Amino acid sequence: DEYDELDEAPDGHHGNMEHQRWEKTRLNAAVTKYGARDVKPKKDNYDLITDDDVIEFVQAATRKGTMDDKEMTEQLSAKELKKQSIDEVRKSLPTFAYRQDLLNAIEEHQVIIIEGETGSGKTTQIPQYLYESGYCKGEMKVGCTQPRRVAAMSVAARVAEEMGVKVGAEAGYCIRFEDCTSERTRIKYMTDGMLLREFLTEPDLKGYSVIMIDEAHERTLHTDILFGLVKDIARFRPDLKLLISSATLDAEKFSTFFDDAPIFRIPGRRFPVDIYYTKAPEADYLDACVVSVFQIHLTQPPGDVLIFLTGQEEIETCCEMMQEKARALGSRIRELLILPIYANLPSDMQSKIFEPTPPGARKVVVATNIAETSLTIDGIVYVIDPGFCKQNNYNARTGMESLVVVPCSKQSANQRTGRAGRVGPGKCFRLYTAWAYMNELEDSTTPEIQRTNLANVVLLLKSLGINDLIHFDFMDPPPHETLVLALEQLYALGALNHLGELTKLGRRMAEFPADPMLSKTILASEKYNNFVQHRSLKRARDVRDQLAGLMERVEIEQTSSGGDSAAIRKAITAGFFYHTARLTKSGYRTVKQQQTVHIHPNSSLFEEQPRWMVYHELVFTTKEFMRFGINKIFLRIRMGNSCLVLSFLLGKQLQLQCIEIESGWLLEVAPHYYKSKEIEQESKKMPRKQGKSAAELG
Ligand code: CDP
Ligand code: MG
């Protein structure tokens, strides 16, 4: 067991020879110093070495035969020879040996928990086995949920390829605002959020013979809600089969929740992975990643590298740093293919990570934790793990949501490590100390339901007729105050009446796959004419089409506001009045909670300091910043290449992170929520600043 090595390394050192060798090469071959950047030597971790040193090292290594050409070519051509037909690949996956046993078990039991190592073939193979053995007779479908969009798209593409059909034919996927399925689709991959929405139109999921809740261990909010819903419908649909599948985690807990459903374990194939820790904490883990990649590239045998970072921006920076470095070294090093993978990457770029590495080259995949368990990239031998991830947190008391980079859990760290051991023995370089692993990392990640705003989900459940949320069958119930706050917000928005029942507005809001504040904003078009504008939406046509369709469904006629900025901002206020901040003598404070907040210095309103603002969200970085990130909203509405979009709401004000409003609007859009007294008095106190507001300047 690779994790046993921890016991040998209580002081942060790794006991064995291999590790000492690594430490040595690390010191000898470290490739730091990036251009003009001021890099201080990191005494304990990496020595500062110049490009010339690297060239010398490469030349020496080649002379010594560390990177013997012949050896490398031989290894790679052996790999080439192993190129198998799709059929052979399918048969080689661990699930294949259990095909019949698994089908028998599914035949016998209504609910089964399936546990198997990542990459064993659960996601791509099991739905195909079901399809092949008659579970898709007539119009019936096998549905498989994924917490991540990218995973849904990419496995559907893979399965379609294996089945020899186009994506969207027998195998397809459905994610928010993108339905790539057809009449013929029998195996449908979708995000967990998408299946949740299907309950709105098909509460008994009668089109499905099997539902597979995949990646159950991820415990996303939507997956957790699905657990309760599918458990319920399984009771009155005895013909529906339910598969709960996960990486090797939590199976017992799932089994207990699903009335002691049997656990089907698929023994995985896993090669040993050596784990290496740094001796001292890394000051800059991006730097450390780059250094490690080049060390691997220069000193280690063939095999691809996988780096885990926290998000798109970081991934892009890291890729640039590596590319720059690789360019500087030119033909002196072997080809390095640097490939990013994150949720908003265009799909043609996404599929690149699965393409086989050309002989002689080395692939470096820089991923978010999507590559932890959702996606398996063949050929990975080295994993570099800085040990961080991005996590959302919600404080129900202040209503503050934050997205922060936090240390990942031990569970994640071990999954990441496992990625190095699929094709052969691997190595995992953890850019933190063994002490940190043991003392600073939580055992597992807190389920999302316990650290997120629930307004959206509460609205959806209400519209499914589930009124008593306190007694909903949660695997781990959310904190009571979070539920209460969600109900309060929905009440304030007018989505619920004083009995907690859905209003007509609420019913309309629930139709929209967006945050309630945002759906209310959109629905406010009825009154203020804030409809979706076609002009600037070429790339976002699918978003526009779906929203427009939903407007029709809730019987709202669309007319143009004529680009009237005030009307548009009013409509936004109608949805976001809950997020109002006003300028006081001591800076900005949220109106109800009296929380101190700030305009982000990047905002064009930073200098302007308008008296009243609404913001999209509070983001805690170093201060509580108010943001009205239009791009962000549309990241939420439309996945993928979003940036574009929304001149549709604010036209030229796209750059603003929050918007200026007039306090009087609050009384118009939310008279039940704001007293005229508190607003008028406050307005009089503060003399208006000279000059035009940014909003007026456009
Ligand atoms: O779900 P699980 O982690 O058990 O495995 P899987 O996702 O079904 O992957 C099985 C195999 O299919 C692996 O060898 C993957 O590398 C491969 N695969 C692929 O080549 N391309 C994809 N888009 C998805 C999977
Ligand atoms: Mg999977």
pLDDT in tens, 521-567: 889 988 998 776 655 556 667 776 778 888 888 988 887 766 667 78
Distance 317 CA to ligand 1 centre (A): 28
Centroid of ligand 2 to alpha carbon of 587 (angstroms): 49
Ligand nearest to the CA of 98: 1
Residue nearest to atom 20 of ligand 1 (CA): 354
343-349 long-range Cβ contacts below 8 angstroms, 24+ apart: 343/148, 343/149, 343/150, 343/312, 343/368, 343/370, 343/639, 344/312, 344/635, 344/639, 344/640, 344/641, 344/642, 345/150, 345/312, 346/640, 346/641, 347/153, 347/640
| Nearest atom within ligand 1 for CA of residue 377 | 16
Residue 346: strand, helix, or coil: coil
C-alpha 370 – ligand 2 centre gap (Å): 11
Q: How far is the CA of 121 from the centre of ligand 2 (A)?
A: 7
Atom of ligand 1 minimally distant from the CA of 94: 4
CB atoms near residue 687 (< 10 Å): 7
DSSP β-ladder status, 380-385 and 304-308 = parallel
CB atoms inside a 10 Å sphere around CB 192: 24
Q: Whose CA is nearest to atom 15 of ligand 1?
A: 376
Helix (H, G, I), strand (E, B) or coil at 293: helix
Distance 80 CA to ligand 1 centre (A): 19
Query: Which ligand gives the minimal distance to the CA of 125?
Result: 1
* Complete DSSP assignment for 588-656: EEETTT--EEEE-TTSTHHHH--SEEEESEEEESSSEEEE--HHHHHHHHS-SS-TT-THHHHGGGGG-
* Helix 149-163 × helix 122-132 angle, to 10°: 50
Identify whether the C-beta of residue 691 lies closer than 8 Å to the C-beta of residue 607: no
Instruction: Specify the ligand 1 atom closest to the Cα of 375.
Output: 7
Q: What is the dihedral of CA 579, 584, 586, 589, to 10 degrees?
A: -10
Overall residue count recorded for the chain in this entry? 698
Q: Is 119 left (phi over 0), alpha (psi -120 to 50) or beta?
A: left
Pick left, alpha or beta for residue 533 (phi over 0 → left; psi -120 to 50 → alpha; otherwise beta).
Answer: beta
Residue whose Cα lies nearest atom 10 of ligand 1: it is: 121
CA of 225 to the centre of ligand 2 (A): 20
* pLDDT the model gives residue 619: 65
| From 86, 88, 158, mutation site for ligand 1 pocket: most ligand atoms within 8 A of C-beta | 158
Q: Which residue's alpha carbon is at the smallest distance from atom 14 of ligand 1?
A: 119
What is the position in ligand 1's atom list of the atom closest to the CA of 378? 16
- State the distance from the centre of ligand 2 to the C-alpha of 664, rounded, in angstroms: 52
Span from the CA of 334 to the centroid of ligand 1 (angstroms): 28
Which residues, at least 6 apart from 509, have a Cβ–Cβ distance to it below 8 Å? 459, 493, 495, 516, 519, 520, 523
**Phi, psi angles (nearest 5°) of residue 182:** -145, -175
Which one, of 535, 524, 528, 560, lies nearest residue 645 by Cα? 535
The beta strands (E) that lie in 503-610 are given as: 580-584, 587-590, 596-599
**Phi and psi (nearest 5°) for 180?**
-110, 60
- For ligand 1, atom 24, the nearest C-alpha belongs to 155
**For residue 154, which ligand has an atom nearest its CA?**
1
How many A from CA of 419 to the centre of ligand 1?
12
**227 in Cβ contact with 256 (< 8 Å):** no
Q: What are the average pLDDT values for consecutive 10-residue runs of the chain, which has 698 residues?
A: 25 36 36 28 35 45 42 47 70 93 97 93 97 94 94 93 94 92 97 93 95 95 95 95 89 95 88 92 90 94 96 90 92 92 80 87 94 89 95 79 87 93 92 93 92 90 88 92 91 93 93 85 88 60 78 85 74 87 88 81 73 78 59 32 33 49 88 80 45 35
**Which atom of ligand 1 is found nearest the CA of 266?**
4
Tell me, what's the pLDDT at 695?
36
The residue whose CA is least distant from atom 21 of ligand 1 is 158
Going across the sheet that includes 426-430, the strands are 273-277, 426-430, 380-385, 304-308, 362-367, 336-341
CA-89 nearest atom, ligand 1: 14
User: Residues 311, 312, 316, 319: is their CA dihedral positive or negative?
Assistant: positive
Q: β-strand 624-627 against 617-620: which pairing, if any? A: antiparallel
Task: Give the pTM.
Answer: 0.69
- Pick from 83, 122, 124 the residue to mutate for probing ligand 1's pocket: most ligand atoms within 8 Å of its CB: 124
Pocket, ligand 1, Cβ cutoff 6 A: 93, 116, 118-125, 154-155, 157-158, 354, 376, 378
Note whether ipTM > 0.85 here: yes
Nearest to 668 by CA among 530, 563, 574: 574
Nearest atom within ligand 1 for CA of residue 374: 3
- Of 323, 336, 338, the residue nearest 297 (C-alpha): 336
* CA of residue 374 to ligand 1 center, whole Å: 9
Closest CA to ligand 1's atom 19? 158
The residue whose CA is least distant from atom 8 of ligand 1 is 121
Ligand 1 atom having least distance to the Cα of 351: 23
DSSP letter, residue 19? H
Alpha carbon nearest to ligand 1 atom 17, residue: 376
Task: Find the ligand nearest to 347 CA.
Answer: 1
Ligand 1 centroid–CA 520 distance in Å is 40
The four Cα atoms 49, 50, 51, 55 give a dihedral, to 10 degrees, of -60
Cβ atoms 513, 485 nearer than 8 A: no
The rounded Å distance from CA 296 to ligand 2 centre is 28
What Cα–Cα distance (Å) separates residue 105 from each residue in 110, 217, 247? 9, 21, 19
Q: How far apart are CA 140 and CA 134, in angstroms?
A: 10
Q: Is 124 exposed, middle or buried (CB count within 10 Å of its CB: 0-12, 13-18, 19+)?
A: buried
Residue located nearest, by CA, to atom 6 of ligand 1: 121
Q: Which ligand has the minimum distance to the alpha carbon of residue 158?
A: 1
Q: What's the distance, Cα to Cα, between the start and end of the chain in Å?
A: 62
Distance CA(165)–CA(265), nearest Å, equals: 30
Handedness of CA 682, 686, 687, 690 (dihedral sign): negative
For residues 531 and 561, the answer to whether their CB atoms sit within 8 Å is yes
Helical spans, DSSP H, in 308-441: 312-329, 347-352, 370-373, 410-418, 434-440
Our measurement of the distance from residue 52's CA atom to the centroid of its chain's CA atoms, rounded to an integer in Å, reads 40
What would the pLDDT profile of 89-145 be if each residue is shown by its tens digit? Answer: 899 899 999 999 999 999 999 999 999 988 899 999 999 999 999 999 999 999 999
Q: Which ligand is nearest to the CA of 120?
A: 1
Gap between the Cα atoms of 464 and 365, Å rounded:
41
* 242 CA distance to ligand 1 middle (Å): 21
3-state secondary structure of 658: strand
Ligand 1 nearest-atom number relative to CA 118: 3
pLDDT at 563: 60
Cα separations (Å) of 183 from 122, 131, 168?
25, 15, 9
Q: How far apart are CA 173 and CA 128, in angstroms?
A: 14
State in Å: Cα 375 to ligand 1 middle. Answer: 7
Residue 116 alpha carbon, nearest atom of ligand 1: 4
Q: Nearest ligand, CA of residue 419?
A: 1
Angle at 412 between CA 411 and CA 416, to 5 degrees: 120
User: Which is nearest to 298 in space by CA: 22, 56, 32, 58?
Assistant: 58
Give 263 Cα–ligand 2 centroid separation in angstroms: 17
> DSSP state, 31?
-
Which atom in ligand 1 lies closest to the alpha carbon of residue 373? 3
Residue to mutate (ligand 1; options 376, 378, 423; most atoms within 8 A of CB): 376
Residues 6+ apart with CB under 8 A from 152: 146, 173, 174, 175, 189, 190, 191
Instruction: Name the amino acid, one letter, at 305.
Output: V
Element housing 429 (H / E): strand 426-430
What's the CA-to-centroid distance between 159 and ligand 1, angstroms? 9
